Amino acid sequence: MIDKALQNLRQSMRAIGRPVSLMEVCGTHTMAAFRAGLRTLLPADLQLLSGPGCPVCVTPSAYVDQAVELSLKPGIMIATFGDMVRVPGSRSSLEKSRAQGAEVLVVYSPLDALEAARRNPGRQVVFLGVGFETTAPAVAWSIKTAADEGIPNYLVYSAHKTMPPAMNALLQSGESKVDGFLCPGHVSVIIGSRAYGFIAEGFHVPCVVAGFEPLDMLQAIGMLLRQVEKGQAMVENQYRRSVAPEGNITAQKMLAEVFEPGDAAWRGLGMLPGSGLRIRERYAAHDARIAFSLAGPEMLSPEPPGCRCGDVLRGVCTPLECGLYQKDCTPAHPVGACMVSGEGTCAAYYKYEKQAGQQQ
C-alpha cells in the first residue's frame, strides 16, 4: 500500500512538472509526518508546510499573561493541558507561577478539572480552554454539567478557536502559496468534511481530510496531487473511517448550546472576526473572563523580539529561517510557543531535523 501510494504521488509530481506546496493544517499531522520520516520519502519539489493547527502555538501571549496573573491570586487553582504550562507570556509563565506557589494542575481532560472543582469547593478552579473544534465540545459539556449540577467554583477561560476562519484568512492574505490543504482529521470528525467546501469552491484550492497514520497521509497527499494535476479543486475525504460529510451533529449541538462565535486573536494571523468560541450569557456564571474581568480573546499582543512563530504558523517561513531557532530558542529554553508544544512546528524541526542532521 505504501509503495503504491508513493508511486502514485511521484507520478503526479512528474505530470504536474513544477514544485508543489501542501499545507498540513493540524499539528498532529506535522508531528506524524516527521516521526515517520515522511518528509524524506517525498520528492524534493513537494513541500509540506505546517499551518496554524497547534492550539497552544496560536494562543497569543496576552492570554498567557492573563492566566499567569490569575494563577497568582489567592484561592485560585488553574487547570490546564500540559503544553500551556511552559509557554512564555510576555513576562512570565505558569511554570514560574507554580514555582512562586501558584496551584497549577495539569489535566488530560476537562473532566479532571471539573472533578478538581468538586473536590475543592473552597477554591475557584479555572480551566484554560485552549483548542479547536475537537476539544471544545468536551469543554462545553463540562460547563453545562457544572451549571446543571451546581458546581459554582468551576470556571473556564475560553480561548477556543475554529479552524475554517483561519484557513480563510491564510488564503485571503495571499501571502502563503498553498496548492492544497491536508485538512485536520479530528477537527473534521466534529465539523464534517463539508465545512471546507468554501475553500474548494471560493478559492479553487483542493482539500483532502486526512487520517493520522503515515499511510493515511501519503494517500491524502496523493489525492491532493491528483487534483492539482487535473486542475480540480474539491473536498475529498481520505479519513472515512472517522469523518462523515456532516460531522458529529451531537457534538455540534453541545458546542452551540454553550458557545457562540466571537472575535479572537491568533498568534501570526492577528484578529479574525468570528473565529473564537465565547461562552454564552446563560453560562456567564462559569465564564472566568467575566468573573475575574480578564481580557477577551480578541486582545492582540506583540511577539517576543526576533521570534518568527507567527510566520511559521502562516507557512511563510520554516523554523530554519528564524534567527533564534536552535540558538536562543530551544525546547529547554523556548522563546516562542511553537518551540514549546508537542505539536509545535519548531519543536518538531528541533527534534527530528536535528536527528537527521546527526545521521548525515
Partner 1 sequence: MCLAIPARIVDLRGKQAVVDVDGVQRSIQTDLLTGLQVGDYVIVHAGFAIQKWSEQDVAEYRAIMEEMERLDQGLAPEGTDD
Is residue 3 within the footprint of partner 1 (CB under 8 A)? Answer: yes
Check if the beta carbon of residue 209 is closer than 8 Å to that of residue 236: yes
**Which helix H or strand E contains 207, and what residues bound it?**
strand 207-209
CB of 242 vs partner 1, minimal distance in Å: 5
Under 8 Å CB-to-CB from 246, ≥6 apart: which residues? 192, 194
Residue 352 has phi, psi (to 5 degrees) of -100, -40
- Under rule CB under 8 A, how many of the chain's residues touch partner 1? 46
Question: How far apart (Å, rounded) are the C-alpha atoms in residues 240 and 219?
Answer: 12
Is residue 280 within the footprint of partner 1 (CB under 8 A)? Answer: no
Is residue 351 within the footprint of partner 1 (CB under 8 A)? Answer: no
C-alpha cell of residue 292: 475575574
Is residue 2 within the footprint of partner 1 (CB under 8 A)? Answer: yes
User: 3-state class of 137 per DSSP?
Assistant: helix
Q: Which is nearer to partner 1, 54 or 171 (CB)?
A: 54
CB of 35 vs partner 1, minimal distance in Å: 11
CB atoms within 10 A of CB 187: 25
Is residue 342 within the footprint of partner 1 (CB under 8 A)? Answer: yes
Residue choice 89, 110, 165, 222 for contact with partner 1 (CB under 8 A): 110
Q: Which is nearer to partner 1, 228 or 251 (CB)?
A: 251
Is residue 355 within the footprint of partner 1 (CB under 8 A)? Answer: no
Q: Which is nearer to partner 1, 143 or 200 (CB)?
A: 143
Residue choice 50, 71, 124, 134 for contact with partner 1 (CB under 8 A): 134
Check if the beta carbon of residue 181 is closer than 8 Å to that of residue 210: no
Q: Which of residues 34-53 bind partner 1 (CB under 8 A)?
A: 36, 41-43
Q: What is the DSSP string of 167-188?
A: HHHHHHH--S--SEEEE-HHHH
Beta strands 154-158 and 180-183, pairing class: unpaired
Which of 171-179, 193-201, 244-252, 301-309 is the region at the interface with partner 1 (rule: CB under 8 A)?
Answer: 244-252
CB of 251 vs partner 1, minimal distance in Å: 4
* Cα 27–chain centre separation: 6
Q: Which of 168, 226, 224 is nearest to 199 (CA)?
A: 168
Strand ordering across the sheet containing 154-158 = 103-106, 76-80, 124-129, 154-158
Q: Which is nearer to partner 1, 111 or 300 (CB)?
A: 111
Q: Which residue has the cell 475537537?
A: 134
Is residue 65 within the footprint of partner 1 (CB under 8 A)? Answer: no
Q: Which is nearer to partner 1, 145 or 301 (CB)?
A: 145
CB of 172 vs partner 1, minimal distance in Å: 26
Q: Interface mask (CB under 8 A) for partner 1, residues 75-94, using x and -?
A: --------------------
CA distances to 150, 175, 290, 347 from 230, in Å: 57, 24, 52, 36
CB of 43 vs partner 1, minimal distance in Å: 7
Q: Which is nearer to partner 1, 3 or 281 (CB)?
A: 3
The dihedral built from the CA positions of residue 183, 315, 333 and 157, taken in this order, carries a sign that is: negative
Q: Which is nearer to partner 1, 203 or 283 (CB)?
A: 283
Question: How far apart (Å, rounded) are the C-alpha atoms in residues 154 and 113?
Answer: 8
| Binding-site ranges for partner 1 (CB under 8 A) | 1-3, 6-7, 10, 26-28, 31, 36, 41-43, 108-112, 131, 134-135, 137-139, 141, 184-186, 189-190, 211-216, 241-243, 248, 250-251, 254, 342-343
